[in-house]
Amino acid sequence: MVKKRKQQKGLAYSRTAFLYLLPAFVLMAIFILYPMLNTIIVSSKYDYRFLTGEFAEFSFKHYVEIIKDPIFRRACLNTVFMVFVCVPASMLSALLVALGLQSIKKFRNFLATLYYLPQVTNVIAAGFVFALIFNNNFGLLNMLLERLGFEPVAWISGVGISGSQVLYNKSYMRCLFVLFTYSMWQGLSLKVILFLGGLSSINPQYYQAARIDGTSKWNVFRKITLPLLSPTTLYVYVTSSITAFKSYSAVVALFGDSYGPAGDNTKMMITLVGYIMDQLGDYLKPGAVSMASTAAVMLLFIIMVLTALQLKITHRRVHY
């Protein structure tokens, strides 16, 4: 009898929990699950017309076409740069800043607030500021270079080169440097706060024991700080990588809706999200929405696979 009452009580608690979670499930189904499934279906509709809903056939031809598209390959290259270059570099700089802030007592909260300000700054406005800093004619950086006796640099100029020669294009490399600088500044804010929280959660007794044993600072950092900070590091890396895959606003703010310097018609700095937005811009064109859906599905697949690989590879190195 007692066991039966406990089972009934547990069942009542479960029903109550599901009732509380039901609104969230409904919203997720409407705004996440349904759009995701619909996008996958539309991507398989060849020559899909958005207004009428007509299409030629169910096919995977759009996937073949998008892989052959040089602009899509350029978008993949730029997005890979954002994920595998900008994210690790910003994480390393954020960790160094967090370690510096953790070592001081006075003005720590004030400095942490200053570092967090970029997170609440409008992305487009900040991008315009950086575009002015790197302006070829009256940019602050070129003015500084002239004061130091150097020749001004055309940071945001030139025409992109299609194909494999893009890696050797000086204008492309300069634009990558501008994008890298902005990404470092914009991505530093939240990462510093997260690393500070992770450092604060480490039990100080570990450091006291290491100090008594005479352990060097490098070994303390390598054997205590990094392992105990690994859950925060994994979280920061995964979330930052997903955010970098969705980069769009920063590129538009820096280079405009042409995704490149003035006079460039190759969309030199386009990203995957920018490619999707470009396709959606021609939604009246037959097949445009299908191409955008195909690119979105491929982006989703890439994010899911890389996130799973990150979790798999780092599983044994994360200490909870």
pLDDT (tens digit per residue) in 164-213: 444 446 778 888 899 999 988 888 888 999 999 899 888 888 888 888 88
Q: Are 301 and 309 in contact (CB under 8 A)?
A: no
Q: What six digits make up the tokens of 143?
A: 């003015």
Least confident segment among 1-5, 65-69, 162-166, 292-296: 162-166
6 pLDDT higher than 80: no
Q: What percent of the chain has pLDDT over 90?
A: 26
pLDDT of residue 212: 85
pLDDT (tens digit per residue) in 131-166: 888 887 778 888 888 888 888 888 886 554 444 444
Flag whether the pTM goes above 0.85. no
1 pLDDT higher than 70: no
Amino acid at 142: N
Cβ burial of 52 (10 Å; 0-12, 13-18, 19+) is exposed
Question: What rounded mean pLDDT belongs to the chain?
Answer: 84
Q: Which residue has the higher pLDDT, 191 or 267?
A: 191
Cβ burial of 300 (10 Å; 0-12, 13-18, 19+) is middle
Amino acid at 302: I
Q: How many CA atoms lie within 13 A of 60 on its CB side?
A: 4
Amino acid at 140: L
45 pLDDT higher than 80: yes
pLDDT (tens digit per residue) in 209-255: 888 888 888 888 888 888 889 889 989 999 999 999 988 888 888 88
pLDDT (tens digit per residue) in 254-263: 888 777 776 6
pLDDT of residue 110: 82
Q: Are 263 and 159 in contact (CB under 8 A)?
A: yes
pLDDT (tens digit per residue) in 80-96: 999 999 999 999 999 99
